[in-house]
Structure 1
Amino acid sequence: MANIMKRGKSWQYRVSYIDKDGKRKYVSKSGFKTKRSAENASLEIETKYAHGATLDNSTITFMDYWDRWIELFKAGKHAEITEKRYTIIRGQLMKYFGPLRELKTITKSDWQEFINDFSTGKDRRIPKRRSKDTISKLNGYVRSMVNNAIDDQIVYSNFTNGVSIPDDQTESKIKYLELNDFKKLINTTTEFANYSEHFPYYLIATGALTGARYSEILGLTWKDVDFKNKQININKTWDYQFRSGFTKTKNKSSVRIIDVSDNLLIALHRLKKEQSEVYLYQGYRDKYNLVFRNARHEVPSNSSINRSLKALEKELGISDPITFHGLRHTHVSFLIYKHININYISRRLGHSNVTMTQNVYTHLLKSLEDTEVKATVDALSAL
């Protein structure tokens, strides 16, 4: 039952209820300008209680609910890099909304203002706009949290729905090597890779000829390389950032078997022979049986392999160099150029669906479509 009272120049409501342990508790709020507004607010609380809502959470803060949601549904269930992302997001939310802002008071306009502010990147030590992907991920996490709050009857609508994600005008297009540069890179890495002097070449060749992610390539063991059937089995990754060993793939679709070319198999066969000889001489045994562990028994970091790739590109006279991840884009661009079916490309990349592949490589597919249009018109004109 609600009790409405006047306190000074404003009105207050006080609603009593029985909690899940059978104890009587109270929810109150003051600061209403009129008695009617206090009554309406108290009626909303009573209605929520009648529908089974836990009033203990009715005034919960944004940050307290975030922490509870992470603890119940996220903590300890994902890779370390994902867990770290939750902490970073929490810092951004705390910085903008503060520790006392109630979850139910946040409106769609409030959230849009936050997204606009967050996108500018002005909070960074060196101000730089954040990418659309980064903003979308943050919005997605909070959207999931608010959906949970709706189920808990703390809020009635999701303020993240329909938010406008600002485009990062400074964000460059997907970078990939042109065909001639790609050929030079493949020929050099497959022909001159060796375990003692040019070990990174093996990694570069594998990235270019499979399109696999760097963590997936590092996660390969010799058991995953099927020389007879000319296939590589992607079933795990290697945590090169936190060095915690094997981890799960990005998603279920990332577990896949990739058909590989003869030039890569020849290179990998050479690597296996060289590696075995060095290990035998050193008296070393790799308990994980990793494909890409060097003679110093190290698994190369992402930064070190990118330095090696950059040096090789400079040596080959490649004027528009790419990073290791750019090898994945180059792999796709080559397959699209060769008119390989987009559904097969999507499965080969380990994307969860073909739409994701189409969205990422829109401009490449558009270029191919323009070529197909011309070919179609020419064919029809020749009738």
Structure 2
Amino acid sequence: MELEKGNGKQLAHRTTTFSDYFDNWVKVVKSPDIKETTYQNYLRTSKVVKKLFKSIQLKDLNDIVVQRKIDEYAETHARKTTHELLLKIRAALRDAYARGYLSNDFTHLIKTRGENAPKRNKSLSITDFKKLRNYVLSNSVDEFNVLVLLALETGMRRGELLAIRPESLYKHGIKVRQSISPTSDDTSLKTANSKRDVSINPAVHDILIKMSAKKNGYIFSFNGFKQSELLSELLKHLSIPKTTFHGLRDTHASFLFAQDIDIAYVSQRLGHVNIQTTQNYYLELMPEKKHQQDADALNLLNSL
């Protein structure tokens, strides 16, 4: 301990509980560099850390202790959710090590465990995509139907759609400049690449320009941010397999991909930082496209 003290290790801080350290790290270190919605997400994580680690102090932390806590969390949460928690905990632990509050960096030894939950944001098939689009287009008197139509038509995020104002519209599409969050008043976009102009069909544009803005200046009601629940009822009515509202964004991207639209264009239309994001998360093969690819592959093999 004397040697470590001589090397600049901050031994006094080691009696701080990890939950208190994490909370302070979020409020002092992270908050200046992240947007408000992300900050709120970190604050929710801070509550999880407090519940998991309770009164465990920094000096008592090692890879085994932290791994047990991560495994405990994984018992009731999806693998993806657990991994997101682990990433934040790793960052805080590395910060503590850099400041001399931990004697070594063991974060690389901690692993994400748990089961992968079934994907909720499933893309609709081309058949169901057309069925849903034709229905909402034909029943555009209902405001929510127009919101669904725009999600299918543009691939815009829910927050971006809710932030549409009359001035957001131009002759050929929608200017994406803001995003509404359910957790804060921050209306900034997710990333710099999210700022874009998205083209829409004339028929959809005509529907939009006839809609009046609410008192808050936005065209669509927020509906308590329960768009996925409302969509579930609509899909059930149409006998279409269930997906989330975000699944409509996936459907838009997958449909464009199925029609052999250039991936660089799809990525830009979705407002992604890079093409890799588009490839990793959005470009699923719709069933009809997969069958076509199977047939094409077999035909190529048969021609040898």
- Could you state the TM-score of these two structures normalised by the residue count of structure 1? 0.69
Q: Percent of aligned pairs with the same residue? A: 26
Alpha-carbon distance, 1:309 to partner:
2.5
Residue type matched to 2:180 in 1?
A: W
Whether contact under 8 Å (1:143, 1:158) holds in the other structure is no
Hey, what does 2:201 align to over in structure 1?
261
Which of 312, 324, 330 is equivalent to 2:251? 330
The structure with more strand, counted as a fraction of residues:
1
Establish whether residue 136 from structure 1 lines up as the match of residue 83 from structure 2: yes
When residues 185 and 362 of structure 1 are mapped into structure 2, their CA distance, relative to the original with a 3 A threshold, is: closer
1:94 aligns with 2:50: yes
User: CA separation in 2, counterparts of 1:233 and 1:371?
Assistant: 35
Deviation track 1:198-239 (CA, whole Å, cap 9, x = no partner) reads 111111111111111111111121222112xx1322121113
Deviation per CA, 1:235-291, whole angstroms, max 9, x where unpaired? 21113x24x5552122223222222233322321333xxx27xxxxxxxx73x5322
Q: What are the Cα deviations for residues 302-358 of structure 1, in whole angstroms up to 9, with x where unaligned?
A: 21x33443333233232x122212211111221121122223222222222222222
Note the residue ranges of structure 2 that are not aligned, 5 or more in a row.
none
Cα distance in 2 between the residues matched to 1:248 and 1:103: 36
Cα–Cα, structure 1 residues 372 and 341, in superposed 2: closer, same or farther, change >3 Å? farther
Q: Please state if 1:301 is matched with 2:224.
A: yes
- Which position in structure 2 is the counterpart of 1:233? 175
Paired with 1:169 and 1:71, the residues of 2 have a C-alpha distance of 31
Structure ID, larger Rg: 1
Query: For 1:310 and 1:45, how far apart are their aligned partners in 2?
Result: 60
SS at 2:26's partner residue? helix
Which residue in 2 is equivalent to 1:36? Answer: none
Give the Cα separation in 2 of the matches to 1:74 and 1:200. 37
Cα distance change of structure 1 residues 63 and 79 upon mapping to structure 2, 3 Å threshold: same
Structure 1 gap ranges (5+): 1-40, 122-129, 277-284, 294-298
Q: How many residues align?
A: 304
Structure 1: distance between partners of 2:29 and 2:250: 34
Letter in 1 for 2:178: K
Which of 159, 172, 183 in structure 2 is aligned with 1:215?
159
2:67 equivalent to 1:112? yes
SS at match of 2:108: coil
Contact 2:78/2:114 (<8 A) preserved:
yes
Where does residue 314 of structure 1 map in the other structure?
236
Structure 2 CA distance for partners of 1:363 and 1:331, relative to 1, 3 Å: closer
Which structure has more relative contact order (CA 8 Å, sep 6+)? It is 2
Deviation of residue 162 (structure 1)? 4.8
Q: SS of the residue aligned with 1:232?
A: strand
Match of 2:278 in 1: 357
**What is the CA–CA distance in structure 1 between the aligned matches of 2:48 and 2:230, rounded to whole Å?**
35
Tell me the SS of whatever aligns to 1:139.
helix
Within a 5 Å distance, the mapping from 1:237-252 to structure 2 comes to: 237-239=179-181, 241-242=182-183, 245=185, 247-252=187-192
- Paired residue type of 2:223: P
Mapped to 2, the partners of 1:162 and 1:374 lie a distance apart of 45
Secondary structure of the residue aligned to 2:228 is helix
Whole-angstrom CA distance in 1 between matches of 2:105 and 2:228: 42
Counterpart in the other structure of 1:73: 29
TM-score (norm 2): 0.85
Q: What letter is aligned with 2:19?
A: M
Q: How far apart are 1:180 and its partner, in Å?
A: 1.6
The answer to whether the aligner puts 1:155 opposite 2:93 as a matched pair is no
Contact map agreement 1:131 1:171 (CA 8 A) in 2? no
Name which of structure 1's ranges 170-179 and 180-189 shifts more when overlaid on structure 2.
170-179
Please point out which of 41, 63, 85 is paired with 1:85: 41
Aligned CA distance change for structure 1 residues 256 and 133 (closer, same or farther; 3 Å):
farther
Distance 1:108 1:341, change over 3 A: farther
Counterpart Cα distance in 2 of 1:82 and 1:58: 28
Distance 1:365-1:179 versus aligned 2 partners, 3 A rule = closer
RMSD of Structure 2 on Structure 1 (CA): 3.1
When residues 161 and 369 of structure 1 are mapped into structure 2, their CA distance, relative to the original with a 3 A threshold, is farther
